[in-house]
A and B are shown apart, each in its own frame.
Chain A
Amino acid sequence: MPIIKADLELCQGYANCVMEAPKLFDISDDGVVVVLEEEFGEETRGRVEAAVRSCPVSALRIEE
Chain B
Amino acid sequence: MSPKTVIVGGSVGGIRAAQALRSQGYVGEIVVIDAEPNVPYDKPPLSKGFLNGTIDFDRIQLISEKELSDSEIGLVLGQRAAAVDVSEKVVRLDGGHGVGYDDLVIATGVRARPSPWNASEGVHLLRTLDDAQSLKRDLLESGSVVVVGGGFIGAEVAATASRLGLSVSIVDPLAVPIGRILGDGVGERFIGLHHANGVATYFGTGVESISGSRGNLVVGLTNGIHLSGDIVVVGIGAVPNVEWLASSGLVLDNGVVCDEFLRAVGQANIYGIGDVARWHHPGLRRLVRVEHWTNAIEQAACVAANIVNPSNPVSYSPVPYVWSDQYDWKIQIAGETVDASSYSLVEDPANPNRFAAVYVDEAGLYSGIATVNWPRAMIQCRKLLETERDVAVPLALLRQMV
Using a CB–CB cutoff of 8 Å, the interface residues on chain A facing chain B are: 12-16, 18-19, 22, 26-29, 31-32, 46, 49-50, 53-54, 56, 58
Contacts and interface: CB of A to CB of B under 8 A. Distances in A.
Interface string B248-274: 000000000000000000000000000
A50 B374 contact: no
A53 B379 contact: no
Given A31-B374, A31-B376, A12 B383 contact: no
B16 A53 contact: yes
A19 B382 contact: yes
Interface residues of B, number: 25
B332 A14 contact: yes
Given A13-B330, A46-B24, A50-B20, A56 B376 contact: no
Contacts of B376: 13, 27-29, 31
B23 A49 contact: yes
B63 to A, nearest CB: 9
A46 B23 contact: yes
Contacts, number: 59
Contacts of B185: none
Nearest to B24: A46
Interface of B: 16, 19-20, 23-24, 42, 44, 59, 293-294, 297, 301, 321, 323, 325, 330, 332, 373-376, 378-379, 382-383
Contacts of A54: 294, 297
Contacts of A56: 42, 44, 293-294, 323
A18 B16 CA distance: 18
Contacts of B379: 13, 15, 18-19, 26-27
A12 B293 CA distance: 15
A62 B44 CA distance: 24
20 contacts: A12-B330, A13-B330, A13-B375, A13-B378, A14-B323, A14-B332, A15-B378, A15-B379, A15-B382, A16-B297, A16-B321, A19-B321, A26-B379, A27-B379, A32-B375, A46-B24, A49-B23, A50-B301, A53-B16, A58-B59
B334 to A, nearest CB: 9
Nearest to A29: B376
A36 to B, nearest CB: 13
Nearest to A33: B375
B351 to A, nearest CB: 12
Nearest to A14: B323
Contact of A19 (B20, B42, B325, B383): B383
Contacts of B44: 56
Closest 9 pairs (CB-CB, A-B): A13-B375, A31-B375, A15-B379, A27-B379, A27-B376, A49-B23, A18-B379, A27-B375, A14-B323
A22 B386 CA distance: 13
A13 B383 CA distance: 14
A58 B61 CA distance: 9
A13 to B, nearest CB: 3
A18 B321 CA distance: 13
A50 B321 contact: no
B309 to A, nearest CB: 14
Contacts of A32: 375
Contacts of A15: 375, 378-379, 382
Contacts of A28: 376
Contact of A53 (B19, B375, B382): B19
A45 B263 CA distance: 27
Central interface residue in B23, B294, B383, by most chain A CB within 10 Å: B23
Nearest to A54: B297
A14 B382 CA distance: 11
Contacts of B24: 46
A45 to B, nearest CB: 8
Nearest to B376: A27
Contacts of A12: 323, 325, 330, 375
A1 B321 CA distance: 33
Given A12-B330, A29-B376, A50 B42 contact: no
A53 B20 contact: yes
